[in-house]
Amino acid sequence: MLRTRWIFLGALLAVGACSVDVGKLRVVSGKGPDAAVDRLETGDVAPLTGAEVGADLVDAREVPGPGDVAETGADVTDVRQGDDLFVADATVGDDTLGGDDTLAGDDTLAGDDTLAGDDGEDGGSEETGASTGDDASDAVAVELPPASGCDGGVNGGCDAAADVGPDTADAAGTDAVDSAGDVMVFDTRSDVADARDSRPRDTSSDGPANVITQFTITTGANTQPWDITAGPDGNLWFTERTGNKIGRITTSGTITEFTIPTNNSGPDSIAAGPDGNLWFTENSGNKLGRITTSGTITEYQITSAGSGPVGIMGSPISSTLWFTEFSGGRIGRYSISGASFYEYSIPTTGSSPSAIVYGPDGNYWFTEYGGNKIGHYTSGGTITEVVSLGTGTTPNKIVVGPDNNFWFTEMGANQIGRLAATGTGTVTPFPVPTANSQPAGITVGSDGNLWFAEYSGNKIGRITPSGTVTDFSISTTNSQPYGIVAGPDGNIWFVESGANKIGYITP
């Protein structure tokens, strides 16, 4: 049963590394946790003399060639060629080449002042693209050289427009977008890469907005990570449908996996339970599973055979788990204290309930993927199908938004739906800009917006409570993002079921 259930913020940002050509003089700067050096290289050196870098002067004709290293300390750069010291104590400040005020930022190429330093001297009449003076940047003279084999597109390993400021302004002052008009972001990790690699690295949880970071699951070719949730231990937990495992990833990207005892159990959704453990559904195993934060797994057989459990949530008001039986057309409840299952049939045949959430009205609300409806279970034990959405809308995941309304994805209709908190049936649809994107998982972000995964659109979407939708492309092709959740670090975490990766985007 297949439930058809990162252009780049092209900022060469403070934690990453970047490479630019300033006329004929190339400056390569690394400023991340793994960046060991700053390096000055020359191609065809123009007569730029007396270019002040920090406190000392270096003649461009004396700049060491490729392979020579400018060693960096906490705040100093020592440019060396062999054993000879060319520039000592050349300060590389907080706002340098990859800092907060980058290439086309508030100040200039090398930070608060310029590449040629505080004195604004270039030593001659021929500049090589770096204007001098306290606030001169000449950003339009900066170009990013393409990598060998780069096709200029995001998926080819290059950014289409070098986005160089916190406001995604490129060197020419325009926003960096892809061919579809979507804001794009760099795929980031913990190590360093230059601008010719489409992944400058940023590991700070409070990094630049809308930057996407990816981590690869290395234990299998395709474990098909499917759903993800935030655990009580400060980590993220996810299911692997074909890997038959539960995974744990720290906010710094360390992945640990735990094998489910039942073979081919088809783990689907996962959620934090009221008992401090993580609970998940086994769609093929017809079970609920519990995993402690230390990794111990226990399974519980569902009473009705062939129920095909999918969605699950921990009750905020009792020691129970609520889940959907996709194949059985029922809503299930499991009492942790009583170790007992209870099942409630949905009136519509073939309803295929998908996700479930606790509403502000005290009821449990669910989506009917097959029935194209939204329903709820009341505390008195009654199931009511509140609203019909139309044939082929296939509502999937559902959450309570920051506005206290219900928000859900409609995979078939390619839109996000909002249902008034009153539950009177008033639904407002918001189309997703990317055609046939199949929005899947949805979550509430730390920024007060809702975020969703576009399974076929290969993007992460954001929708404001007022209904404005923005797409952010994922650099990995056919990544098929599905489950999504707000992490304890404030980032939006998601799984890439087709790329065998876990990712996050900074709101």
**Virtual CA dihedral for 380, 381, 387, 388, nearest 10 degrees?**
-170
Question: Given this model, what pLDDT does residue 296 score?
Answer: 98
Q: What is the mean pLDDT of residues 376-395?
A: 94
Q: Are 97 and 28 in contact (CB under 8 A)?
A: no
Tell me the per-residue pLDDT of 95-140, one tens digit each, with 9 for 90 and over: 333 333 333 333 333 333 333 333 333 333 333 333 333 333 333 3
Q: Are 299 and 285 in contact (CB under 8 A)?
A: yes
Mean residue pLDDT of the chain comes to 71
Rounded CA-CA distance 68/194 in Å is 17
Cβ of 156: how many Cβ atoms within 10 Å? 15
pTM beyond 0.85: no
Tell me the per-residue pLDDT of 177-201, one tens digit each, with 9 for 90 and over: 444 444 333 333 333 233 223 333 3
Nearest to 162 by CA among 270, 22, 11: 11
Q: What is the mean pLDDT of residues 83-105?
A: 33
Q: Is the pLDDT of residue 9 over 90?
A: no
Question: Given this model, what pLDDT does residue 207 score?
Answer: 57
Question: Given this model, what pLDDT does residue 316 score?
Answer: 96
Q: Are 459 and 182 in contact (CB under 8 A)?
A: yes
Tell me the per-residue pLDDT of 287-338, one tens digit each, with 9 for 90 and over: 999 999 999 999 999 999 999 999 999 999 999 999 999 999 999 999 999 9
Return the biggest CA–CA distance within the chain.
Answer: 85
Rounded CA-CA distance 331/18 in Å is 53
Hey, what are 321's tokens? Answer: 């788990």
CATH 2.130.10.10 given to domain 212-505:
yes
Nearest to 399 by CA among 326, 313, 480: 313
Task: Show the CA angle centred on residue 366, arms to residues 224 and 226, nearest 5°.
Answer: 5
Tell me the per-residue pLDDT of 423-435, one tens digit each, with 9 for 90 and over: 677 899 999 999 9
Instruction: Parse the chain into domains and list their residue ranges.
Output: 212-505
